[in-house]
Amino acid sequence: MNEVRMMITAMMLASGLCACDRAEDLPPDLSGVTTERLDATSKETWTYLDLDAPDAPDQEAGWDLKFQRQFVRVNGEAGVEVATVDGKTITQVDSPPDGAYHKDTGDEEGDQAFSRDDLWYDYDISVHKLAPKQRTYVVLSDQGAFFKLQFTGYYDDDGEAGHPTFYWTSFE
């Protein structure tokens, strides 16, 4: 079954018809989970998100994550750290993992928590499209709370790049 799915996906990618979200990888039960789509299209400014206070008018004041195009940064100076849980959807991660949390340590892409081990997305050069990998990130916020986040897309409804879309929630 996996081989058939991979063949169909490869054929769709080759023809340029593949959706950017991987619907088969999305969790079925999203109760209590926020779906976020950000406008991170600017190449000069960042879009900020404070997971502890997502409705606060000034997201830059207590930010945990910031986004610019496909780049994601964590507020390491404020103690924000990220762990990667590969191959699991947001609903399959029941508790924060022990150890292996990372902060941004520099300005290069490999120094970033969201790209330390591997980028959060796959890039298909034949159609120049990003597609999120099936993984969940666990974020330790600047307030010491744990959140989980799963990227689901990068394009808006019109196909414009720079709109990272993801599910996120706190641990119960």
Q: Place 61 in a pLDDT band, splitting at 50, 70 and 90.
A: confident
Average per-residue pLDDT for the chain:
81
Three-class DSSP category at 15: helix
What letter does residue 105 receive in the DSSP assignment?
-
pLDDT at 7 over 50: no
Domain for residue 7, yes or no? no
Domain for residue 163, yes or no? yes
Beta bridge partners of 153: 165
Q: Is 130 or 11 the better-scoring residue by pLDDT? A: 130
pTM confidence score: 0.79
Domain for residue 140, yes or no? yes
Tokens for 113, please give them: 């928590």
Mean pLDDT (whole number) for 25-30: 56
**Could you report the per-residue pLDDT of 122-162, keeping only the tens digit for each?**
899 999 999 999 999 999 999 999 999 999 999 999 999 99
Three-class DSSP category at 76: helix
Give phi and psi for 49, each to the nearest 5: -140, 125
Range of the domain at 139: 33-170
The CA distance from 75 to 31, in Å, is 28
pLDDT at 13 over 60: no
Domain for residue 17, yes or no? no
- Percent of the chain past pLDDT 70, that is, above it, reads 80
Domain for residue 120, yes or no? yes
What is the domain count for the chain?
1
pLDDT at 48 over 50: yes
Domain for residue 136, yes or no? yes
Domain for residue 129, yes or no? yes
First-to-last alpha carbon distance for the chain, in angstroms, is: 34
pLDDT at 12 over 50: no
pLDDT, residue 117, reads 67
The CA distance from 30 to 15, in Å, is 31
The CA distance from 32 to 26, in Å, is 15
Mean pLDDT (whole number) for 19-30: 48
**Could you report the per-residue pLDDT of 78-126, keeping only the tens digit for each?**
999 999 999 899 999 999 999 789 888 777 666 778 777 688 888 999 9
Domain for residue 16, yes or no? no
pLDDT at 20 over 70: no
Q: Is 169 or 9 the better-scoring residue by pLDDT? A: 169
pLDDT, residue 26, reads 47
Q: What is the CA radius of gyration of the chain?
A: 16
